[in-house]
Structure 1
Amino acid sequence: MRQLRRLVLMAVCSTLVVASPTRSLAREGVTQQVHEARQEGSVWTAFAFNRHLSPFSLNVDVEGSVATLTGTVENEVKRELAEQVALGIDGIETVDNRIRVDPGVRPRLVSVAAVDERLDDATVEARVKSKLLWNTRTEGLDIGVESREGLVTLSGESASAQARELAGKLAASTEGVERVDNAIRVTGEPGTVARAQSEVAQAGNLLGDAWITGRVKTRFLSSDNLGALDISVRTDEGVVHLAGTVATAAEKELAVETARNVRGVLDVQAASLKVAG
């Protein structure tokens, strides 16, 4: 079924490119927005797994190759560290560091369970954004998405009441969403709706890799046998690639099975995960 959806999407996109140069340019813009959303997830995941930064509430917004960072940390060293971590993400060339320094800010104690919960919120936001980006009536709107423990809050402006209602329905039908607070303001005239549902389904997969990588790392960290091991994790279209060195074949097998049991993982490649000796 997944392969069928991809073939259908490829056929639809090919038709759009031939039939409408304007639509092709619009699609490029949407693809760029999806790419930016994935980069935001990658930066956030890097923050979540950095022991110096994870206790602080930091936010990232990516536009083009520029990442804008906001939040508060306790000293200048950690402010600069956040900037360097963001610059380490592929495609991020410039960082607009708006993080404030407040010596009085109290770092939070972050457990593995808490990181897991924050990753759930991040992936729900990504899924909702992807649906909005790939729908004709919502792709051009400036809609903010925030998720917290199943509650998704939509903000921004809409050209019509119909588009606002559609954005709310798209968010409500997303996996992991329990309630929607639709705070989008209506400012213009109604538009039209025209998009194959297969595109929406496919877009939901484009933003999953950063979440899967974070979830696999979380599972490793929470394991008594894997938490202390230096295993790198990379995900490409649902396929997890493991690399590094472990002490025994049993540890390698456990790492592979742990990754394979994470929701969304299609396959695990571990040829680069070596057994010492």
Structure 2
Amino acid sequence: MSPIDATDREIEAAIEDASSYDPRLSSFEIGVEVDNGVAVLAGTVDNLKAKLAAAQDASNTMGVWQVENNIDVEPETRPSDAEISQNIEASLRRDPYLEVGEIDVSVGLRKTR
């Protein structure tokens, strides 16, 4: 059977293999279902890079035409409001397209205003 004629189950197995060998994903349980070349990913990871890596691995698999990434990101530790505020301010100051004067970022209950 040629790679173009791979069944959905064979594609699922190939994506699962790729995820198990990817060091960004090997510690997570990622569910994979494929239907007519559309890969649906599910599960929970602790960082955005892992979620994106899973989608990349799936999209790089022969026979996959589309990826639906339903993986949830739940960080092990959540930053404080002060850390969120500092990170936003630092990002804005580094943006070359912004003329930065005084930046005032307000964060409350982990939501920016």
Report the TM-score when normalising by structure 1: 0.25
Aligned-residue Cα RMSD (Å) equals: 1.7
Which of 34, 40, 54 pairs up with 1:62? Answer: 34
Identity of matched residues, %: 32
Tell me the amino acid that sits aligned with residue 68 of structure 1: V
Q: How does 1:86-105 map to 2 (within 5 A)?
A: 86-104=58-76
Q: How does 1:151-166 map to 2 (within 5 A)?
A: none
Q: Which residue of 1 aligns with 2:17?
A: 45
1:167-201: CA deviation from partner (whole Å, max 9, x where unpaired): xxxxxxxxxxxxxxxxxxxxxxxxxxxxxxxxxxx
1:93: how far off? 1.3
1:62: how far off? 0.1
Matches of 2:47 and 2:20, distance apart in 1: 18
1:215-270: CA deviation from partner (whole Å, max 9, x where unpaired): xxxxxxxxxxxxxxxxxxxxxxxxxxxxxxxxxxxxxxxxxxxxxxxxxxxxxxxx
Matches of 2:49 and 2:65, distance apart in 1: 20
Matches of 1:37 and 1:86, distance apart in 2: 13
Q: How does 1:118-133 map to 2 (within 5 A)?
A: none
1:37: how far off? 0.4
Tell me the amino acid that sits aligned with residue 14 of structure 2: S
Q: How does 1:217-228 map to 2 (within 5 A)?
A: none
Matches of 1:37 and 1:82, distance apart in 2: 18
Is the partner of 1:37 in helix, strand or coil?
A: helix
Tell me the amino acid that sits aligned with residue 81 of structure 1: A
Structure 1 portions without partners, runs of 5+ = 1-31, 106-277
Matches of 1:82 and 1:102, distance apart in 2: 15
Matches of 1:52 and 1:83, distance apart in 2: 12
Is the partner of 2:41 in helix, strand or coil?
A: strand
Is the partner of 2:17 in helix, strand or coil?
A: helix
1:75: how far off? 1.1
1:104: how far off? 1.9
Structure with bigger gyration radius: 1
1:78: how far off? 1.1
Matches of 1:39 and 1:65, distance apart in 2: 8
Q: Which residue of 1 aligns with 2:87?
A: none
Q: Which has the higher contact order (CA 8 A, sep 6+)?
A: 2
Is the partner of 1:40 in helix, strand or coil?
A: helix
Is the partner of 2:7 in helix, strand or coil?
A: helix
| Higher helix content, 1 or 2 | 1
Mapped pair 1:85 → 2:57: yes
Q: How does 1:106-185 map to 2 (within 5 A)?
A: none
Task: Give aligned pairs, total.
Answer: 73
Matches of 2:50 and 2:20, distance apart in 1: 14
Report the TM-score when normalising by structure 2: 0.61
Is the partner of 1:92 in helix, strand or coil?
A: coil
1:41: how far off? 0.3
Matches of 2:75 and 2:59, distance apart in 1: 24
Is the partner of 1:51 in helix, strand or coil?
A: coil
